[in-house]
Amino acid sequence: MTTHIDTAERGDDQESTTGLARRDVLKLAGAGPAAMGFMAGVDRQPAKAQDMSNGADNFYTSDLVTVRPVTFKNQYAMRVAGNLFTPKTLNATVRTPAIVVGHPMGAVKEQSANLYATKMAERGFVTLSLDLSFWGASEGSPRNAVSPDIYAEDFSAAVDFLGTQPHVDRARIGAIGICGSGSFVISAAKIDPRLKAIATVSMYDMGAANRNGLRRGLNLEQRKQIIAAAAEQRHVEFTGGEIQYTSGTVHALTATSTPVEREFYDFYRTRRGEFTPDGQSPLLTTHPTLTSNVKFMNFYPFNDIETISPRPLLFITGEIAHSREFSEDAYQRAAEPKELLIIPRAGHVDLYDRATLIPFDKLQSFFSQHLAT
């Protein structure tokens, strides 16, 4: 079932979301800091003030919810950091359904995931936002490394942790994956039946995005060049050279910045959503390591997605989201029960934090129905 729902009117200054994906590795040479806009002297345009329309509220907190920082180990003995959100009205004598919330690729739990976790806790669920391994406060070295299998394992480790909480019903645990985490949670759910209901929001298939680009805009020869550049960089780093980083969000806008670059910039590089974890550099936020990013090319999260059935899947995407193709692809491949929910006038990043566009009521009804006793 495909559903369109009406939401609040979109701000007039929102730009069209077309162009190249920020996660495509297009700079095959000079992929270090200078290539990503770190170098002084770039022909820069003054950054627009962040667009706070449609209730943008990434750092939302609630007096109705208790938040507790937690850590737990995944099966690789890596410490995963998260925030556990509990409704203050929780009846401690009753086991409650729980939801794991994963952040966008290259982000941390303080960007979008905490907002979703807070809003769903207000609606009566115990929720857990987490930092994927190698990102934020979770362990993993080098920082910002890409490992899709470990990212999926982190979701299962979160289920392990929630299942030990005295107020959680371990038979009623679901998950929300935002952006890249949508593909990671699907990967996890295919082999972890404890994830009873799965919702994705503005999902990126991180495998397809890196192999093919948006709308298959990356050809095989370009892909091979990217792989060769990463292989050569492995030699450089093995022999003592500096770690190089790639893709992610630009640090300055120029006259040639694409609409997609501007869309991500407005969230990640302004007060709307910028967050730098303790001990890390703002120059490296969102940027995966160059040598590890090619691991996404071996990542096929939608293969066998139909085996998740009869557990339900809800795919949420924006009407004008540049990532819409990935939710539509997953929906076509998945078996029932499934639903594709298209939010009118919404772009990809809009669904990170614009509270009047994000369908929290739909998420509540979905999980209430499918995590019922």
CATH classification code of 2-370: 3.40.50.1820
Residue spans of the domains in the chain: they are 2-370
First-to-last CA distance in the chain? 24
Pairing of strands 96-102, 65-73: unpaired
Q: What is the pLDDT along the chain (373 residues), one digit of tens a residue?
A: 766 554 333 333 333 333 333 333 333 223 333 233 332 333 334 445 689 999 999 999 999 999 999 999 999 999 999 999 999 999 989 999 999 999 999 999 999 999 999 999 999 999 999 999 999 999 999 999 999 999 999 999 999 999 999 999 999 999 999 999 999 999 999 999 999 999 999 999 999 999 999 999 999 999 999 999 999 999 999 999 999 999 999 999 999 999 999 999 999 999 999 999 999 999 999 999 999 999 999 999 999 999 999 999 999 999 999 999 999 999 999 999 999 999 999 999 999 999 999 999 999 999 999 999 7
Rounded Cα gap, residues 228 and 240, in angstroms? 19
As beta bridge partners, residue 11 has none
Stated pTM of the model: 0.89
* Cβ contacts of 33 within 8 Å, gap of 6 or more: 39, 245, 283
Name the token pair of 39. 């170098």
